[in-house]
A and B are shown apart, each in its own frame.
Chain A
Amino acid sequence: MGTVVVVGAGMVGTMIAYRLAEAGVRVTLVESAFAGSGSTGAAMGHIVVMDDSPEQLALCAHSRARWDELAATLPPSGEHEHAGTLWLATSDAELAGATARVAGYQRAGIDACVVNDVELYRLEPSVRRGLAGALRVPGDAVCYPPAIARSLAERVMALGGALLRRSVASLAAHRVALDDGSIVTADAIVVAAGVSSPSLVAGLPIVPRKGHLVITDRHPGLVHHQLVELGYLHSAHTFSGASVAFNVQPRRTGQLLIGSSRELVGYDATFNHDLVGQMLDRATHFVPAIAQVRAVRSWIGFRPATPDKLPLIGRWPAEEGLWIAAGHEGLGITMATGTADLIVAGLLERTPPVDPERFRPDRVMPAMERVA
């Protein structure tokens, strides 16, 4: 494998390009705007191990460990910190459900435990009273994705790679046609263009799942962990329809990032007032002090969602030399490291870190329920 073109300089694309360049491959990154400009720039930056399925758990666990290795080399602007996640249980039933998941986490090598209400309030005094407890995953982290994507793109260039600021006009076997009429050829092409991937490769089962985020002014010490309600899992699972779940992240600046909403409305970037109202309500419900915190800005992003909630990673059989690394929905930042390892293993014919079979882009998918 001498040359590879990576299309898309988001977190997934820059991570793949960096790992390939590190392995001695000549890499060309093609990006229409700048590194981290798409969903990466709108992402929350929660490096979180989720366990919806054994495959998701395995890839998350490997990916988080790889983030930990990378962390020491990241610039301070990447803001990688082990804040840990607290999944808040509003009832004993929810807490019991969380307890049942601890063993699975531990089998995957992920430290996790259930804490009771007393311990929860010791860890997070500003969380509202009356909760049952929480599932604590201390090794989860937070980061600032666009600064990391920038840093990775710069490393690629330092390792002899190239960054072309161009849009892709068309893709074919071993060749990429750019919007200026030029053609780039390579031994392999990796499409890591997130929500834009289906416009480059027909037939990819990816739809945009819209989300809103709100960031506040600075209140250092108000919240220490990423706080998510266990009900989030329900919100994330329901595919069609709009939903909101409590999800708050402390930033290094002392700012709070408030999420999260999910909608399937295509690329309609209209601000949804009702959903943001519900997001703010839930935030102030779980952390009453947020009521007094000032909202500074809001934005919208589109998660690249697949019908079976797993990313598409691997060879795309319709074209010779074409590989896909897309469709991570809300886990693109977390899984970027593991995705890069899978792609590198595939391209360089090395042993993959996790079983790649369930991530094959051409696997059988459930039907997309509704694409608005």
Chain B
Amino acid sequence: MSPPLEQVCDVVVVGAGPAGLAAAAAASGAGRRVIVLDQGIRPGGQIWRHRDRSALPTAAHHLMNEAKRSVIIPGARVIDGRSPHDLLVDVGGVAHRVRATALVIATGARERFVPFPGWTLPGVVGIGGLQALIKSGLDVKGARIVIAGTGPLLLPVAATAARAGANVRIVAEQVPFRRLARFGLSMLGRPRAIAQAIRYRIAFRHSSFATDSWILRAEGSSAVNTVLLRRGGAVEHVACDWLATSAGLIPDTELAQLFGCAIGNDAIVVDAEQGTSVAGVWAAGECTGVAGDAAAIVEGTIAGAAAAGSNAVTPRARRHQESGRAFARRLELTFAPRPELLALADATTVLCRCEDIAVGAIDPSWSQRQAKLWTRVGMGECQGAVCGPACQSLFGWTLNRPRAPLGTPRCATWADALQHANPDDAR
């Protein structure tokens, strides 16, 4: 039993993706002492988590360089907080207590999974999940991969897989062609994004890209070996070693909710300065709405400056912030999961993967809490991180507010974090 390692700074940033790094750069640039807490092995978030740092884009190099003025703690999970300005952190099993006058939440996004038959087979992974695994060293050379999902994330992941030598059998977008084309037209004012999309498409040029297409089921015994793909009006069997699939991205609002920040439309509600409904707490990046890395950097810069008490935000940044928010709304409307995706599971399809609860055990008229207490749905290790959003899609439920601890610290780590280094602090 030992008290937590105490650290004090001006601004603490949670998340070292594009938004978090930009916030840290802005706050440290304004002369503030900044600590960045990040769950990953390396900073960069999901998008810049490459093992090979030379493959990173210029913006990433720039921000990582700027971030050297901040203290970045990798492998750090905020498990609890006495207040938003007094965080309890698990760093590889060692308890830390980080106090700051300002908190910037930049926890990014997660994938939304909607259950379908066979989704628990090994080899079925998220789309961001496949990218994360490849970036952490998964060897996909020669592997047959089906990528099926929705939204702009499909392209970089297909490109990553193809560049890594995978045989990308097909990239399936659930949205109909006309809706996708309209979205494409709306992007004409963003030549850089279009150029990027073209580079990605060239990278997986040997694979077909199908709209109006989605997975009906995955089959296999010890791992996935075939998927049933609905393509246009027909159903195809596609043999594969990996199926990367998800129903899009959702903001990660867990930490914000722990401190009571207002949530709207599944995202942290922020004002023009990226301030949340809780005083002294700012939020930036995909946890406030999914709009990609460029928007995240702008928001992070604004949030970092505001948290540092500086008003050095340029009119150009303001314009980018506005267009980023508009883009987030457009993404949401364009790539909302189609109703057919919500009807794939049968009564025996697993809903809660931690507790092995099937869809058939649930009555849609219940609340999330009722389902949890009556059937154990969402009671397992992931604390509803996977089945919660699934229930939200399938049954329209409001999600339970998270409770401490976030993550799953060892009891000793949490106990240590709750000790007072100075006994006078204890009441």
Q: Which residues of A contact B (CB under 8 A)?
A: 33-34, 36-37, 41, 77, 146-147, 150, 214, 216-217, 258, 271, 273-274, 276-277, 280-281, 283-284, 290-299
Q: Which residue of the partner chain A has the closest CB to B1?
A: A281
List, in ascending order, chain A residues with CB within 8 A of B426's CB. 274
B373 close to A37 (CB less than 8 A): yes
Give bound CA distance, A142 to B411, whole Å: 22
- Given known contacts A41-B373, A273-B418, what 20 new A-B pairs fall within 8 Å (CB)? A34-B373, A37-B370, A37-B373, A146-B374, A147-B373, A147-B374, A150-B374, A216-B411, A217-B408, A258-B411, A271-B403, A271-B404, A273-B82, A274-B426, A277-B418, A280-B418, A284-B1, A295-B408, A297-B383, A298-B403
Complex Cα–Cα for A217 and B418 (A): 20
Taken together as a complex, chains A and B put the C-alpha atoms of A281 and B416 apart, in Å, by: 8
Is the Cβ of A283 less than 8 Å from the Cβ of B82? Answer: no
A296 contact from B366, B408, B418, Cβ within 8 A: B408
Q: Kindly provide the distance from the CB of B260 to the nearest chain A CB, expressed in whole angstroms.
A: 11
Indicate whether B409 reaches chain A with its CB closer than 8 angstroms.
Answer: yes
**A146 touching B373 by the CB < 8 A rule?**
yes
A293 to B409, CA, bound (A): 8
Pair B414/A295 contact, Cβ less than 8 Å? yes
A selection of 15 A-B contacts at a CB cut-off of 8 Å is: A33-B370, A146-B373, A147-B374, A216-B411, A217-B408, A273-B418, A276-B404, A277-B419, A280-B418, A290-B412, A292-B411, A293-B410, A293-B411, A297-B403, A299-B403
Residue of A nearest to B409 (CB): A295
Q: Which residues of A contact B376 (CB under 8 A)?
A: 77
Bound Cα distance A292, B410 (Å): 5
Q: Assess whether B427 is interfacial by the CB under 8 Å rule.
A: yes
CB of A280 within 8 A of CB of B381, answer: no
Q: How large is the interface on B (under 10, 10 to 19, 20 to 34, 35 or more residues)?
A: 20 to 34
A294→B412 contact, CB < 8 A: no
Rounded to whole Å, the gap between the CB of A210 and the closest CB of chain B is: 15
Task: Give B62-117 interface residues, CB cut-off 8 Å to A.
Answer: 80, 82
Q: Does B405 contact A (CB under 8 A)?
A: yes
Residue of B nearest to A289 (CB): B411
Q: Which of B1, B370, B409 has the most CB of A within 10 A?
A: B370
A127 → chain B closest CB, angstroms: 16
- Taking CB atoms, residues of chain B closer than 8 Å to A214 are 411
Q: Kindly identify which residue among A36, A271, A292 contacts B374, using a CB–CB cutoff of 8 Å.
A: A36
Given the known A-B contacts A34-B366, A271-B403, A284-B1, are A294 and B82 also in contact in the complex, defined by CB atoms under 8 Å? no
Q: Say whether B369 faces chain A, with CB atoms less than 8 Å apart.
A: yes
A34 to B373, CA, bound (A): 10
CB proximity of B4 to chain A, nearest CB, Å? 11
B353-407: which residues lie under 8 A (CB-CB) from chain A?
366-367, 369-370, 373-376, 379-381, 383, 403-405
A298 & B404 in contact (Cβ 8 Å cutoff): yes
Q: Does B415 contact A (CB under 8 A)?
A: yes
Whether A294 and B409, one on each chain, are in contact in the complex, defined by CB atoms closer than 8 angstroms, is yes
Q: Complex Cα distance A77/B411, Å?
A: 27
How far is the CB of B334 from the nearest CB of chain A, in Å? 36
Which A residues touch B379, using CB under 8 A? 297
How far is B343's CA from A80's CA once the two chains are assembled, in angstroms? 36
Check A294/B410 contact, CB under 8 A, given A34-B370, A36-B374, A299-B403: yes
User: CA separation between A284 and B82, bound complex, in Å?
Assistant: 22
A147 partner residues in chain B, CB cutoff 8 A = 373-374
**Contact of A284 with B373 in the complex, beta carbons under 8 Å:** no
Residue of B nearest to A285 (CB): B1
Q: Top 3 closest A-B pairs, CB basis?
A: A277-B418, A291-B412, A280-B415
For residue B382, give the distance in angstroms from its CB to the closest CB of chain A: 9
The one of A77, A276, A292 that contacts B412, using a Cβ cutoff of 8 Å: A292
Complex alpha-carbon distance, A283 and B373, angstroms: 25
Residue of B nearest to A41 (CB): B373
Q: How far is the CA of A67 from the CA of B375 in the complex (A)?
A: 22
Q: CA of A217 to CA of B376 in the docked complex: distance in angstroms?
A: 14
Which of B82, B366, B410, B411: most chain A Cβ within 10 A?
A: B411
The answer, among B370, B374, B375, B408, for a CB contact under 8 Å with A294, is: B408
Distance to closest chain B CB from A326 (angstroms): 21
B1-A273 in contact (CB<8A): no
CB distance from A13 to the nearest CB of B (A): 16
A187 to B405 Cα, complex, angstroms: 48
Binary CB contact string for chain B from 124 to 166 against chain A (1 if under 8 A, 0 otherwise): 0000000000000000000000000000000000000000000
> Judging by beta carbons under 8 Å apart, are A281 and B410 in contact?
no
Residue of A nearest to B374 (CB): A150
Q: Give Cα A214 to B370, complex, Å.
A: 19
Whether A274 lies near B410 (C-beta < 8 A) is no
Q: Give chain A residues whose Cβ lies under 8 Å from the Cβ of B82.
A: 273
CB distance from B235 to the nearest CB of A (A): 38
Residue in A77, A274, A280, A299 whose beta carbon sits within 8 Å of that of B414 in the complex: A280
Nearest CB on B from A80, distance (A)? 16
Cα–Cα, bound, A295→B79 (Å): 10
List of B residues within 8 angstroms of A299 by Cβ: 403
Question: Which residue, of B369, B380, B403, B410, has the highest number of chain A Cβ atoms within 10 A?
Answer: B410
Question: Is there contact, CB below 8 Å, between B415 and A277?
Answer: yes
With contacts A258-B411, A284-B411, A291-B410 known, is A274 near B374, CB below 8 A? no
B80 partner residues in chain A, CB cutoff 8 A: 273
CB-based nearest A residue for B407 = A294
Minimum CB–CB distance from B81 to chain A (whole Å) comes to 9
Which B residues touch A290, using CB under 8 A?
Answer: 411-412
A118 to B141, CA, bound (A): 59
On chain A, the residues within 8 Å of B405 by CB distance are 295-298
Tell whether A37 pairs with B403 under 8 Å between CB atoms, given A273-B418, A277-B418, A294-B411.
Answer: no
* Cβ–Cβ < 8 Å partners of B404 in chain A: 271, 276, 298
State the Cβ distance, B225 to closest chain A Cβ, in Å.
Answer: 30
In the complex, what residues of B have CB within 8 A of residue A276's CB?
404, 418
Min C-beta distance of B75 to chain A, whole Å: 16
**Which residues of B lie under 8 Å from residue A273 when comparing CB positions?**
80, 82, 418
B246 to chain A, nearest CB (A): 24
Tell me whether A217 and B381 are in contact in the complex, defined as CB-CB below 8 angstroms, given that A34-B370, A37-B373 are known contacts: yes
